[in-house]
Amino acid sequence: MINYGIVGFGLHGDRRLMPGFELSENSRAVAVCRRDRGRAEATARQYKIPHAFSSVEDLCRCPDVQAVLVTSPNNCHLSDVLTAVRCGKPVLCEKPLAMNADEARQMVMAAREANVLFGVAHVFRFCESTNRIRHRIAMEEIGRPTLARTDFSFYAPPDHPRTWLHDRSVAGGGPIADIGVHCIDTLRFILQDEVTRVTAIGVKDKRSNDVEAAAVLSLEFARGTLANVSVSYRAEYHTAVEVRGETGALVCDKGLTVDFPVTINLFRDNQVVDHQTVSNHLAYAKQVDEFSAAVEGKKHYRILGEEGWQNQLVLDAAYESMETGKTIDVPRIGAAH
């Protein structure tokens, strides 16, 4: 059993992380750090977590903590990850990895130099739906993929619990950074391919301050697939994954959700010829357990820091495209699949 210290908490901790730990087989939370010591202690009492801290350094130095899970606001990721690495603790960081690609590079290089395990919490790589789609594409059920799309939206009102969503200095961006990174990473994962060029457009409104409220990204992949990513803070919750190939299509409405079963439909000649209904409810548990197994040296964690760095390069290109109106090339760091 691997003992985790959680840095940051908030809505994500309540809705996703703690239910994931409860379903996990080899992972448990033994410490929590929040900037407000009183809130940290309240969270610890609520979830029966033994240790509460207001200092990331103190949490990382706690002898009971064997691994660190960083879930703080995006602008804190660099400092929090580097603190965990300096303390020699394996660290799993929430997405997006950083505020920009240079910060991601700093994290990856620090972990390499310290020989510390460093992973990114891209939970949709642990969903049954995305793994089935990836396998079926690899088995050439739809022939060569030519078109793909991922959609992700949710309504973010002014009183949203994550009050920093519309603050670029904290979030790094709007829905492109927050949920678009999920879409980008999912496409890279299921296509087993890399984004080479990005074109992006976005819109702002009175509530979005200095970030986009909605955006559409066009992605060009190395092997020729063209993909579309649509994200929004101004539409009801919805996700979708679709890949169309030369001989068929795989369509999964609500494909990026862990709250209820989802169905993957195989289309040929505009008719559903096969369907699979799967559940993603164990995704958060699988994610933390795989990282725990990697900490123990028993298994490879499937999304190391380099993958988060590559995603960040795509995000940076998207924001540059949105600002300049140009199509932007995405460099490669040689990340492994």
Backbone angles phi, psi at 130, to 5 degrees: -70, -35
- pLDDT higher than threshold 90 for residue 160: no
Maximum distance among all Cα pairs of the chain, rounded to whole angstroms? 60
Output 309 or 161, whichever has higher pLDDT. Answer: 309
The pLDDT of residue 163 is 77
Whether 162 has a pLDDT exceeding 90, the answer reads no
Residues 6+ apart with CB under 8 A from 41: 52
Can you tell me the mean pLDDT for 177-203?
98
3-class SS of residue 86: helix
* 154-179: average pLDDT: 89
Q: Tens digit of pLDDT for each residue in 224-269?
A: 999 999 999 999 999 999 999 999 999 999 999 999 999 999 999 9
Per-residue model confidence (pLDDT) at position 334: 60
Give 223's contacts (C-beta < 8 A, 6+ positions apart).
191, 193
Residue 337 has pLDDT above 70, yes or no: no
Q: Is the pLDDT of residue 161 over 80?
A: no
10 pLDDT tier (thresholds 50, 70, 90): confident
Q: Is the pLDDT of residue 336 over 50?
A: no
Angle at Cα 136 formed by Cα 132 and Cα 137, nearest 5°? 120
Q: Domains in the chain, ordered, with CATH? A: 2-123+285-305 (3.40.50.720), 127-280+312-329 (3.30.360.10)
What is the C-alpha separation between 69 and 98, in angstroms, rounded?
14
- pTM for this prediction: 0.95
pLDDT at 318 over 50: yes
Which of 173, 80, 73, 116 minimizes the C-alpha distance to 305?
Answer: 116
Q: Is 15 exposed, middle or buried (0-12, 13-18, 19+ CB in 10 A)?
A: middle
Q: Which residues pair with 7 in a beta bridge?
A: 33, 70
pLDDT band of residue 335 (cuts 50, 70, 90) is very low
pLDDT value of residue 50: 98
Structure tokens at 277: 């209904």
The amino acid sitting at 214 is A
Q: Computed from CA positions of residues 196, 190, 233, 79, in that sequence, does the dihedral angle turn out positive or negative?
A: negative
Q: Left, alpha or beta for 131 (phi > 0: left; psi -120 to 50: alpha)?
A: alpha
Q: Please enumerate in sequence order all residues whose Cβ is within 8 A of that of 257, keeping only pairs 6 or more positions apart, or say none.
A: 239, 280
Instruction: Say which residue, 241 or 162, is predicted with more confidence.
Output: 241
Q: Tokens 């060029």 belong to which residue?
A: 197
